[in-house]
Chains A and B, each alone.
Chain A
Amino acid sequence: MNLISSNSVNVKELNLDQILIRGLYTPTLDKQIKSEFKISLPKDNLQVKQDNNIICSKNSFDQWSIIFFQQVRLKLDTAIDKINENEKILATNYSEGQIYIEISGENKIFMLNKITHFDFREKNFPLLTSAQTLIGRVECNIYNIQNKLLVTCNRSFGDHLKSQIIDALKF
């Protein structure tokens, strides 16, 4: 859904699916994820791997996010149950608890600089990395993928974040 396009910035709200995985990296876990979702787990913190319609990000030393650009909601629970058979792993369906906002366009960084102190320069936030920061005073995850940014936050803050983004563009 297109939220707003203005001043060479495009903002869309997407309907995505997400799994949050807690656990330490093991080749077994990686193999399981790869066989299930055709993407392997990044090893470095804040590294993002992207493949077709999936991105996989290592959020911290024992946490990964897998985000699906095509809705797979019904099958996700089955996959999660299978992953959770591994008693050393906790996989949770995060799909409905988050909102997903895609920001693209030449002036996206200028717009974001109105509502976040985060340093978007290449040397601090290169392509295929993720970060956790405050945007519009809301705790967000942000992913730098190709020529766009994906911002996610808790659904309860969704209206506020969207309003802040629209305000930053308009004002």
Chain B
Amino acid sequence: MSAQDNRNSTRIAFHQSVNFTFDGVKYTGFKGDTIASALIRNNVKIVGRSFKYHRPRGIYTCGIEEPNALVQILSEHNEPNIRATVKQIYEGLEIESQNRWPSLENDLGSITSLFSPLISAGFYNKTFMRPRGFWKKVYEPLIRKAAGLGKPPKPFKTTSTQLHHHVDIVIVGGGLSGLLALRSLAKTKLKILLIEQDSYLGGILKNSNKISTIENKNNDSWISEVEKEIEGSKNIKVLKNTLATTYNYINHLIAIEDLNTGTAPLEGNVDQILHKIRAEHIILANGHIERLVSFRNNDLPGVMLTGSFEKYIQRYGVIPEKNPVIFSNNSSSHSLIKKLVDLNCKPKAYVDSRSGDKIEPDLLEIIHKENIPLFTNAHIEGCDGGKQVQEISVRDSEGMITKLKSKMLCVSGGFNPDVHLFTQSKGVLSWDDNYLTFKPDRSYQNTIIIGSAGGLFQYSKLANDIDTKLGFLNQEPIVKIDFKLNESDNYAIEKLWETKHEKESRWSKSFIDLQNDVTTKDLRQGILEGFDRIEHLKRFTTNSMGTDQGKISSINALGIVSEILDKKVSEVGTTIYRPPYAPLSFASIAGRSTYNFYDPERKTPIHEWHKKNGAIFEDVGQWKRPWYFKNHSEENLYQAVQREALQVRKYAGVLDGSTLGKIEIKGKDALEFMNLMYTNNFSKMKPMSARYALMLGEDGMIMDDGIISKINDKHFIATTTTGGAANVLSHMEEFAQTEWPHLNVYMNSVTEQFCTFNISGPNTRLIMEKVFKNIKFDNESFPFMTFNNFDYLDSTVRILRASFTGELGYEIYVRPSIALKLWEDLFYFGKDEGLIVYGTETMHLLRAEKGYIIVGQDTDGSVTPQDMDLEWMIGKNKKDFIGKRSLTRSDTIRSDRKQLVGIRPVDQKNIIEEGQHIILSSNVKPPVKMLGHITSSYMSPNLGHSFAMAVIKDGKKLIGSKVFVSSSSNDAFEVEIINPIFIDKENKRLVS
């Protein structure tokens, strides 16, 4: 056993063991362990296989930046691609490694390594092309099987929710800088939200040995004191286990909180909260990320970043390997070496790429005192060892190679300020020659960056940094912080992106992007092939395109590219970090907006009646409308519609038309307004009469239709289509307010204020006379297209004589509170007259038999009234109306426009399908000229055959001719073009 516990860690509950399984094998960790720290504790070296080459991979880091250790959680609906370095273990957790078969130890996929020279960057752009037939049956299935990491999760019902916040300040990061900022702002009474991704506050104070004391207190005591100070504050809220993932415009943050950190999820309980935060100012104190160095086999299990190794010791109480070799190009390893010496685990060797005079004297003193082999001006040439590091090759300044036997190599290539959120906010970066990294330069929004997130790596300057940047918020100045450090305040980095291989071979690899298996050779190859812009190179090689977005390596890639191109790094530029910072589940994004909350539903006031009476609903926008009614459980749509359609024409039927838009228009200039909004002329219309009207867009195309009821010249009620209601109202308001503000006219939507019942059929009059005993419904008393208000119970109903089916009919407008009573009365009195309820499908069929169009079905925004044979609706001698001018454009008056016609199959056994093409002949070679298409099609029980409405070029002239209609299942069949009115052309039923 090479790993060892460090029982001095205060974040691990060593008295509470936790059992879990990894690839079916049982292990034990402790409460507070992540999967990674627990596996390290159990000496598990290999945790996965790499994406392309299936190379064995171990744990590389200790945080969200982990590229390798992605696992599948079997006990949580098989959630894939979970970072083992972040996810805490709990009793019974079941984990599986990814991207390997049949096992992690012996993965068949590793055979691809043999072919690695052939499958370098961009190989898929040059392969899989021949033979052509292989793509569908061989290549694609194979690639789909091999692609991706992890398997899809099992279906589950999300238990995530969302929460909105509005605050003055958000501080991202509860580490040293974040806590100092928070403490200094505590007395300002500003509303502050602190977000910390870990379970504990403190950051570098708890994760490393770098700071011995702060303000003369040990780290834990200092953190506790700060927490106590802010605990009682009503204006400060701290969210732990919460990761800020996205920085939107305007100062809008998305953060995801895990409520099940270290515990098993409980069924029915919230597991995640997606926080949506709007702030006046956002303070980014999210620290920095360590980066790697590329060398031969730098991906072998046993290679780990130095800071991460230290974090495992300090935070997770486990020393991954007792005597590691440490390699660095900067002074950040000092604290680790001290710690290892204290724990009696002194390093096997310390390799520094810098000269001896750059290394701190007190570190040199420790090294000499402890007899730790020291290599200066030296590099790691490579690692060897098969499935894990066994031997490390060190090249000195003379080029001599020394081989060291060790199972662990800690590497530090420098630090990058964590600028993801900053760049998401559209902040601008600049290159820092001192620290060899990009750091925030100019904010785009109200963003303040403090500490190492802003490129400040000196503790001595931190107080001034915070005071300068937060002074305008009237914070309590910090002035000075007393630190006692275990390392230098100046980490004196020297440039080193990669080292040379001793022997070049086609198979030797030094990696730049571990998650996507991108090597430094791939970068060279890409540039050689012409991809010398960093954005192109990124896509060609897939460098930084993994779920980690190259957190530990993207700057290295820029450094290597700059050397190849002989340019400054600042000239090479950066690629863009995209949100989210770390992967977000779709479940958390969806929140509660799933299943019955997926989309708000709109219901009519008698919805429950429909449900109880066999309605099958369809979605019309957000409305639930009865589509058809099942007479018995076996009845299907076709049977129901045939039954309903026959019944309405023979006896009577009623439809709940409450979803149709209703707008009340009133004002001194209402008549003028209505004449401008619609094609019709309402001037000579009598009061209490109604008219079918068309509304056009400014382009002259039909936008909507409806019935206009004129109460008087100053007061109208307009109906609209269900889907067009909001559009029509907003269209009216726009013109009233912006084009004709001189007109005195106002509109109110009254769609919800009235239910609408459309009753029609030969027996309708009989039924209405029974329900409304005091009203005369004969032709003389109640002519077609007139309306009036009548008493009903303690209210008033408006009854309009109109019909959309072509039968004698009425529209009843009634208040919701008495709607059900009226509806039930209709059925009570109508049952002996054969009254049935019908749905929207039957309504569509019946109106089509009558040749009535449906806007949006037979029109598509490109047809004029003339095209639909509705010229008669255009008021003659009208001075102006919306769309009038466009009706005389050359395009709208040309003769070969598509026009509305009826279609009947010659062989009446044929069924016409909606959307099918109309063609001249069935025997033509492609490309086939299309004359038009079927807009509506139905099987009519009243006609005894299928029929359709269509729009055909020059359709009116073709009435009487025979053409063909395509079919999805058979050959095209012959049809006859006829007048689109199939029933009662003389309108006898309508005005009976």
Which positions in A face B, CB cutoff 8 Å?
20, 22-23, 62, 74, 77, 84, 87-90, 92-94, 96-98, 113-121, 124, 136-138, 154-157, 159-161, 163-164, 167-168, 171
Contacts and interface: CB of A to CB of B under 8 A. Distances in A.
13 contacts: A22-B748, A77-B796, A84-B666, A89-B746, A90-B664, A90-B666, A93-B753, A97-B751, A117-B276, A117-B278, A118-B164, A159-B603, A160-B600
A156 B602 contact: yes
A155 B605 contact: yes
B746 A155 contact: no
Contacts of B815: 96
Given A163-B596, A171-B592, A97 B601 contact: no
B597 interface: yes
Q: How large is the interface on B (under 10, 10 to 19, 20 to 34, 35 or more residues)?
A: 35 or more
Interface string B638-664: 000000000000000000000000001
A97 B164 contact: no
A114 B161 contact: yes
Contacts of A98: 752
A88 B668 contact: yes
A124 B816 contact: no
A22 B600 CA distance: 28
A88 B601 CA distance: 36
B827 interface: no
B592 A167 contact: yes
B600 A92 contact: no
**Most chain A C-beta atoms within 10 Å of own C-beta, residue among B161, B599, B746, B815:** B746
Given A74-B794, A97-B816, A156 B752 contact: yes
**Most chain B C-beta atoms within 10 Å of own C-beta, residue among A22, A98, A118, A120:** A22
B387 interface: no
Contacts of A116: 164
A97 B596 CA distance: 23
Contacts of B667: 87-88, 90
Contacts, number: 103
A134 to B, nearest CB: 9
A167 B753 contact: no
B464 interface: no
B753 A156 contact: no
B113 interface: no
Contact of A117 (B164, B666, B744, B816): B164
A163 B601 CA distance: 11
Contacts of B665: 90
Given A84-B666, A160-B601, A163-B597, A113 B752 contact: no
B752 A138 contact: no
A90 B748 contact: yes
Contacts of B746: 22-23, 62, 89-90
Contacts of B817: 96
Given A92-B750, A160-B601, 15 more contacts: A88-B667, A90-B665, A113-B163, A113-B165, A117-B276, A119-B278, A120-B166, A136-B600, A154-B752, A156-B604, A157-B600, A163-B596, A163-B597, A168-B592, A171-B592
Interface string B745-757: 0111011111000
B659 to A, nearest CB: 8
Contacts of A154: 602, 751-752
Contacts of B714: 87
In the complex, the 7 A-B pairs of residues with the closest C-beta atoms, listed nearest first: A97-B752, A22-B746, A156-B602, A97-B753, A90-B746, A90-B666, A119-B166
B307 to A, nearest CB: 37
Interface in B664-679: 664-668
Given A23-B746, A113-B163, A159 B605 contact: no
Nearest to B166: A119
Contacts of A93: 753
Nearest to A116: B164
Contacts of A138: 600
B723 to A, nearest CB: 14
A155 B754 CA distance: 11
B398 to A, nearest CB: 65
A159 B748 contact: no
B457 interface: no
Contact of A96 (B602, B668, B816): B816
A121 B162 CA distance: 19
Interface string B25-60: 000000000000000000000000000000000000
A137 B748 CA distance: 22
A155 B605 CA distance: 8
A92 B746 CA distance: 11
A113 B746 CA distance: 35
A120 B602 CA distance: 27
B270 to A, nearest CB: 6
**Most chain B C-beta atoms within 10 Å of own C-beta, residue among A84, A89, A117, A138:** A117
Nearest to A124: B166
B829 interface: no
Contacts of A94: 748, 753
Nearest to A136: B600
A89 B276 CA distance: 42
Contacts of B666: 84, 87, 89-90
B570 interface: no
A141 to B, nearest CB: 13
Nearest to A23: B746
**Most chain B C-beta atoms within 10 Å of own C-beta, residue among A74, A115, A116, A164:** A115
A171 B161 contact: yes
Given A113-B164, A156-B623, A20 B601 contact: no
Interface in B720-756: 744, 746-748, 750-754
B475 interface: no
A88 B276 contact: no
B752 to A, nearest CB: 3
Interface in B606-639: 623
A137 B816 contact: no
B166 A121 contact: yes
B744 A88 contact: yes
Interface in B905-921: none
B752 A164 contact: no
B248 interface: no
Contact of A155 (B593, B597, B816): B816
A116 to B, nearest CB: 7
A97 B748 CA distance: 12
B670 to A, nearest CB: 9
Contacts of B163: 113-114
A151 B597 CA distance: 19
Nearest to A112: B164
**Most chain A C-beta atoms within 10 Å of own C-beta, residue among B667, B750, B752:** B752
A171 B592 CA distance: 9
**Most chain B C-beta atoms within 10 Å of own C-beta, residue among A89, A155, A168:** A155
A20 B748 contact: yes
Contacts of B754: 97
A108 to B, nearest CB: 14
B617 to A, nearest CB: 14
Nearest to A22: B746
Contacts of B794: 74
Interface in B793-815: 794, 796, 815
A167 B276 CA distance: 19
A156 B668 contact: no
A160 B607 CA distance: 13
Contacts of A115: 592
Contacts of B604: 156
